[in-house]
Amino acid sequence: MYTHIMAPVDLGHAGRLDRALKVAADLAKLYGADITYVGVTGNEPSSVAHTPAEFTQKLEAFAETQAAGTGVPAKARAITAHDPAVDLDGILARAVDEIDADLVVMGTHLPGRMDWPSHGGKLASHSKASVFLVRS
């Protein structure tokens, strides 16, 4: 049914991702799919990393930890944006095409930039992939 799941993650609020991550892993196991964790950062230092390179390292480590915990093969894809707060919708929509994902699993209503305007809702209306929004 699904072969490649994209899971957008906000590493700044990793503690609140649990439900969405579990749903993504369960679905991946059910359908035998891979997961790509997608993270978006600006060029400026953030609460997660000092530089985009460090952000990439952290996201890769995150994906490895998830893969080890769930047993689902996982990759990381870090994307740098000029203005992450605003550019997020377009970036996620492009990422779906670039990594050729057929299902997106993401949490909703996280505080911070994953909040209003609803990124998950926009993605669902613009993406050809299925979108699973997990209420947290």
Supply the minimum distance, in Å, between the C-beta of residue 73 and another protein.
20
**Is residue 14 near another protein by the rule CB under 8 A?**
yes
Among 48, 75, 98, 124, binds another protein (CB under 8 A): 48
Looking at residue 38, the DSSP 8-state letter turns out to be: E
* Nearest-angstrom CA–CA distance, 43 and 62: 20
Supply the minimum distance, in Å, between the C-beta of residue 109 and another protein.
9
Find out whether 63 and 9 touch, Cβ atoms under 8 Å: no
**Is residue 26 near another protein by the rule CB under 8 A?**
no
**Is residue 84 near another protein by the rule CB under 8 A?**
yes
Among 44, 71, 97, 100, binds another protein (CB under 8 A): 44
Among 2, 37, 62, 132, binds another protein (CB under 8 A): 62
C-alpha 94 chain-centroid distance:
13
* Nearest-angstrom CA–CA distance, 109 and 86: 16
**Is residue 131 near another protein by the rule CB under 8 A?**
no
DSSP-derived pairing of the beta strands 74-80 and 103-107: unpaired
Find out whether 131 and 124 touch, Cβ atoms under 8 Å: yes
Supply the minimum distance, in Å, between the C-beta of residue 63 and another protein.
12
Supply the minimum distance, in Å, between the C-beta of residue 3 and another protein.
29
One-letter amino acid identity for 101?
Answer: A
